[in-house]
Amino acid sequence: MTAARIVVATQKSSATSLALPYLNRELSWLDFNARVLEEALDERVPLLERLKFLAIFSTNLDEFYMVRVAGLRRKATSGASQYASDPLTPAEQLIAIRERVASLLERRRTVLRRELLPALAVRGIQLVPMPALDDDERERVQAFFDAQVFPVLTPLAVDPGHPFPYISNLSLSLAVDIVDPVTGKEHFARVKVPRLLSRWVSTGHGHRYVPLEEVIASNLGSLFPGMEVRRSFLFRITRYSDLDLGQMDQPEDLLETIEQQVFQRRFGEVVRLEIQRDMPEAIRSLLLEELGASETQEVAPLQAADVHELDELLELGDLMQLAGIDMPELHDPPHSPLTPPAFRDSRNMFDVIRERDVLVHHPYESFGSSVEAFLEAAANDPQVLAIKLTLYRTSGDTAIVRALTEAAEAGKQVAVLIELQARFDEQNNIGFARTMENFGIHVAYGLPGLKTHTKTVLVVRREADGIRRYVHLGTGNYNSKTARLYTDIGLFTCHPEIGADLSDLFNSLTGVSRQKFYRRLAVAPVGLRAKVLELIDRETAHAMAGRGGRIIAKMNALVDPEVIAALYRASQAGVEVDLIVRGICCLMPGVKGISERIRVISIIGRFLEHSRVAFFANGGRPEYYIGSADWMPRNFDRRVETMVPIDDPQLHPGLERVLATCLADNRQAWELGSDGQYRRREASGKDSRATQATLIRHPWGAPDPPPAVTRSRRRRPS
């Protein structure tokens, strides 16, 4: 795999005169998406799951352009700089991104055309062009077009009386070349491919499908009667789609402001144009001219370099529909989450949590019988006085929302901090906010420029010995759908100091507060980075004193320059560091004199690795933490996040086994080398150790785990 471009930070380590290596954030993300694409190539992965990974790669890339590339284009236009640790200018990054994406798109085309479509055809799943249909299939497809498609199509011509139409973000369109046979005059028209209809039209014979755009293209004559339709070509655009609240003054009504921003996002500048390879230069130039025009000098106009020439299939994210075909033999084996042992005997959940802290591990253990059951119990328990929680992303008809509304109707005090700025879930969260307000729930929205990303629930209960606070803190969202697909860890506790900390946190979120002191929690933006640096530096001090040093951290992304510099110092002092980073990693492991004792792996599989866990050996007094934050500037500085210690030593062995299982993985793991390249770990035969397969069988790691990789190691001789 092509490496993320290596750059050298200007920041110097206090322990060495060497400059610190720092991998470019955007190129590291593209390397992550390349690892997702490689799952589509892996013959060990079931066929329809391979198709799913191809679709995920494509939708990931769409979001990358809507947010990251769009932001870089604006920075390049304004002359703004990037992170101080990354000397690549935005313009240089855009050039590197174009080169990397071009190679990835060619690899995607090869995977689809030479690997997946032929293999799917052998199993009876085919994408067929209109000319390949037999008479019966053609008749069925034509009937479908006449009844379902034609009524919703709106042909839009472009001429002096018809201005160039608005093109919505990520929509598929046909550019149609038309000639008036009477006057001989040429016309251009656009026909949108309806997004509310299935992209893949069944022929009525097994799993044979025709792309909807081909069905429309073969019937363009009915849209332009009396005209000669010469040809048509598919195109698709990507618009800038981030929100700009970070630069705003405090709005009077955040909900209304977010709604306005979401609406305005529809008209963001075009940052990418995807076209069929054989599109004529005249049509391509027309699209570039009309779509690339910028109304402001702050936004760069669309250029030829922003055009992606693809084959006849655009928008491969829609392959997810085909990946859902009900053919069990072509899917991963079904997985049914287990009820966590602590909650299996139908006892009152509050009694269980009062006796001991409980950890749960999703999706291996059930979200429904733990988190949702906890909120349902709180809603129905007459002794519960108040429920407070944060919602970043949640699903539609969710038991959590139902439990909250039932609790409010029962007269309990219910307060929800719902994050309106959760990217691409803004509209959903606005709907949830209004629904909850209608049921008498107290809803707060947070502040512009500071997203509430922490995953916390606080339940206040009246008991015989007084008021007790019950808490859930997790690494993942309160979303029943993603809880079946993302790996996350959650803690249930009634620890008095943690409960008091959460009370203070909620008071600061729903009221007016400058709370900076917390007893057990580390909270961003007031102190989380400082806590992480303190823990790393403490481990460095242990190593320098000859007590060994060991850090293991699992997260989604590692970007923060200060934390990376601290990890480099720890390595130089003799601390052994293992990092399990699913996505972006700007740290360079294995560099002589800087990071020789640091190893980095990324695990890609059927579940999205989402849990954030950290282990510090602490000179023989080990500490474990879980939290909502990745080690990134945005999490430390621009979000409300929490990290909580796992104090009960009886819970440590499970966390140790989970981390050991990840580090021993030789099936799903990719290792980052000192050259900036990721290489897949390879296993043969019975020696295969796949993290997620192991945890499906044993949610807290195998009873006989791999070697004790989490033990503190003595400093290696230099």
Residue 670 to residue 677: CA distance in whole angstroms: 10
Strand residue runs (E) in 597-638: 598-603, 608-609, 613-616, 623-627
Q: What is the DSSP string of 426-486?
A: HHHHHHHHHHHHHTT-EEE--BTTBEE--EEEEEEEEETTEEEEEEEEESS-S-TTGGGTE
Measured CA distances, 33 to 101, 180, 273, 478, 517 (Å): 10, 47, 20, 25, 39
**CA neighbor of 367 nearest in space, from 395, 338, 333, 389:** 338
Q: Which residues contact 629 (CB under 8 A, 6 or more apart)?
A: 453, 524, 528, 612, 635, 636, 639, 641, 642, 643
- DSSP state, residue 362: E
- The pair phi, psi for residue 84, each rounded to 5°, is -60, -30
**Shortest CA distance to 408 belongs to which of 367, 370, 436?**
436
**Active-site residue 652, yes or no?**
no
Cβ proximity of 260 and 54 under 8 Å: no
Q: How far apart are CA 149 and CA 584, in angstroms?
A: 42
Q: Where are the beta strands (DSSP E) in 24-138?
A: 125-127
The pairing of beta strand 576-581 with beta strand 466-474 = unpaired
Q: Render 63-77 in DSSP notation, one character per residue.
A: HIIIIIIHHHHHHHH
3-state SS, residue 411: coil
* DSSP helix/strand/coil, 336: coil
- Please report, as a single letter, which amino acid is at residue 463: E
Q: How far is CA 351 from CA 346, 354, 500, 647, 648, in A?
A: 11, 5, 19, 19, 17
Amino acid at 197: L
Q: Of the listed 453, 472, 495, 610, which one is catalytic?
A: 453
Strand partners for 384: 461
Contact 540, 569 (CB under 8 A): yes
Residue at token pair 């928008």 = 315
What lies within 8 Å, CB to CB, of 27 at 6+ separation is 4, 5, 93, 96, 97, 100
Q: How far apart are CA 502 and CA 486, in angstroms?
A: 25
Distances (CA, A) of 412 to 310, 423, 606: 56, 31, 40
Question: 646-664: buried (b, 16+ CB within 10 Å) or exposed (e) per residue?
Answer: bbeeebbebbbbbbbbbbb
Q: Which residues are catalytic?
A: 453
